Structures are given as structure tokens and as C-alpha cells.
């Protein structure tokens, strides 16, 4: 279903993604992080829906639909390194910092911060080209909220 999308995203020199595709790719990354600990629960799904609704101005129904599409994309997407690197090449830096904040929101949604999630967030930050300082500040902003 998403084969063409993944092919465009992982091309050698990808073009910037149109807004709808960037939304889908970034939401799929949220899903990937939420699934990392093997317990993709309702609190994480609800948090992803809220993030999508707030970030993209979507209704609850539209946000849930986007998450459903992102779940399918995430399942079909290549390994995290290639997938995240492709997003880095197609999405501006400021949006990637906002994605790190959103990823922390998802990690903290279930009230438990697992070592696997921390490790993945460190990897994803690096792969997205986010420096350590900006990543730490993003986590602190989420922790305070």
C-alpha cells in the first residue's frame, strides 16, 4: 500500500515531502517509538492522536485516521536508521525538533520511561540531525508540561 511512498522517502536524493506525506511519515515515527517497548497501549494511541490533532489542526476523527495510516506505514517502513534518515532529508530542522518533543510525549504517555525507549530516542535524535542540546531541551519542555 505504501510501497511508492517508502520508495520516494528512501530515494538517494529525496525531494522535500509535501505536507500530507510529512505528516504521515512523522506520525509513523511516533508509532514506531510507541511500539518500541512491546506495549503499544491506548494511552500512547490517544497521545499520538492528540499530538496529530494539535500539530496539524485535525479533528479527533482525522487524527485517528492519520494514526491508522501511520501504523500501516510504520509496519511496512524500513529499519529505523533508514526510515529516520529519510525523514531528516525531507523535513526542515525546526519540524524535526518538534518531532523530538512529540516523541518524548509518546514515551512518557504511559507513565513509564523504559530503557529501550530512551535508547531509541537518543538514536532517533542523532539520525534526525538534532544536536544533544536541542534534544535535551525538547525533553525538558515535555517533562515540565
Question: Which domains, from first to last, does the chain contain?
Answer: 17-144 (1.10.3680.10)
Over the stretch 36-53, which tens digit does the pLDDT of each residue have?
878 888 988 999 999 999
Question: pTM for the whole thing?
Answer: 0.81
Report the alpha-carbon distance of residue 41 to residue 32 in Å, rounded: 13
Classify each residue of 69-80 as buried b or exposed e, where b means 16 or more C-beta atoms within 10 Å of its C-beta. Answer: bbbebbeebeeb
Chain centroid to Cα 56, Å, comes to: 13
Over the stretch 93-121, which tens digit does the pLDDT of each residue have?
888 888 899 888 888 777 777 788 788 88
Report the alpha-carbon distance of residue 29 to residue 130 in Å, rounded: 15
End-to-end CA distance of the chain: 37
Report the alpha-carbon distance of residue 132 to residue 145 in Å, rounded: 20
Amino acid at each position: 500500500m505504501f510501497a511508492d511512498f517508502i520508495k520516494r522517502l528512501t530515494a538517494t536524493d529525496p525531494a522535500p515531502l509535501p505536507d500530507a506525506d510529512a505528516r504521515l511519515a512523522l506520525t509513523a515515527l511516533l508509532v514506531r517509538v510507541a511500539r518500541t517497548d512491546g506495549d503499544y497501549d491506548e494511552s500512547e494511541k490517544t497521545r499520538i492522536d492528540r499530538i496529530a490533532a494539535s500539530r496539524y489542526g485535525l479533528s479527533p476523527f482525522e487524527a485517528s485516521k492519520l494514526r491508522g495510516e501511520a501504523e500501516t506505514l510504520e509496519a511496512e517502513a524500513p529499519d529505523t536508521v533508514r526510515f529516520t534518515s529519510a525523514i531528516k532529508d525531507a523535513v526542515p530542522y525546526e519540524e524535526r525538533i518538534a518531532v523530538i518533543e512529540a516523541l518524548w510525549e509518546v514515551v512518557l504517555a504511559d507513565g513509564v520511561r523504559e530503557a529501550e525507549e530512551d535508547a531509541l530516542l537518543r538514536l532517533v535524535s542523532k539520525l534526525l540531525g538534532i544536536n544533544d542540546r536541542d534534544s535535551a531541551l525538547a525533553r525538558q519542555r515535555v517533562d515540565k508540561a
